[in-house]
Amino acid sequence: MENKKKEPVQARMAMIFEAESGNTLSNKIYEILLNKIINGEIKPGTRLIERDLAEEFGVSRTPIREALNKLAKDDLIEVMPHRGAYVKGLKAKDIVEIYDIRASLERLALRLAIPSIPSSEIKRLKYMVKHNSSNTTENEIQHLVSMDREFHRLIASYCDNRRLVAMLENLANVVNVFRIMDAPIEDRAKKALQEHLAILDAIEKRDVELACKLITEHIEASKQSILRHFGHILR
């Protein structure tokens, strides 16, 4: 009886993923598990068993293992030898530390990049920000997150410091987790877009001090928003 009950679930999951393959499939599973951890559906301390997840999603263990490895790199789960993977949960202290480090690195990257960022790139991003300033519905969240990441990548790409770029990239996946948490808050999403626009204006004027001040305030506002709205799932 138990196997018969599971067959329809497996069939539905197989249909969802039948068009996916390789890395794309593991990314899809990663995103689903990530959202469940962020939303508190999967509690801290929960053991994630490859066999059970493979059965739930109707896939082999390989994409499950790849998805779990990505979550481990994000520091959201801990893979323990001979014991399996466990959800670590989010800590307020982690968010504070990551965002404070990010603010310092972003300021340095900005100081180095401002003289080199082409006006055409600044205008392109400003257009994107203005065009999306009203699109903060749930359906646009992933796009807003991607645009936010592109905004910060633009700065990094012109700082001409490969070690700094590598450090920013190492933080990117973890920060992206928090971006996903923060983006669905409509009021915060709208403010973040306006903050991006103000920073771009300062960059366009080549005003280094103002740009650094604004990006510090932008990152601090994101940090405080996450701490305020997700305190119930932080340890």
User: pLDDT value at position 164?
Assistant: 96
The three-class DSSP label of residue 57 is helix
Residue 22's CB: how many other CB atoms inside 10 A?
10
Query: Does the reported pTM lie above 0.75?
Result: no
Determine the topology of domain 92-233 in CATH. Four Helix Bundle (Hemerythrin (Met), subunit A) (1.20.120)
Judged against a pLDDT cut of 90, whether residue 2 lies above it is answered with: no
Where are the chain's structural domains? 2-87, 92-233
Q: How far is CA 40 from the centre of its chain?
A: 16
Q: Output the pLDDT for position 147.
A: 78
Q: CATH assignment of 2-87, given 2.60.40.1150, 3.30.420.40, 1.10.287.990, 1.10.10.10?
A: 1.10.10.10
Q: How far apart are CA 174 and CA 43, in angstroms?
A: 18
pLDDT in tens, 95-139: 899 899 999 999 999 999 999 999 999 999 898 888 766 555 544
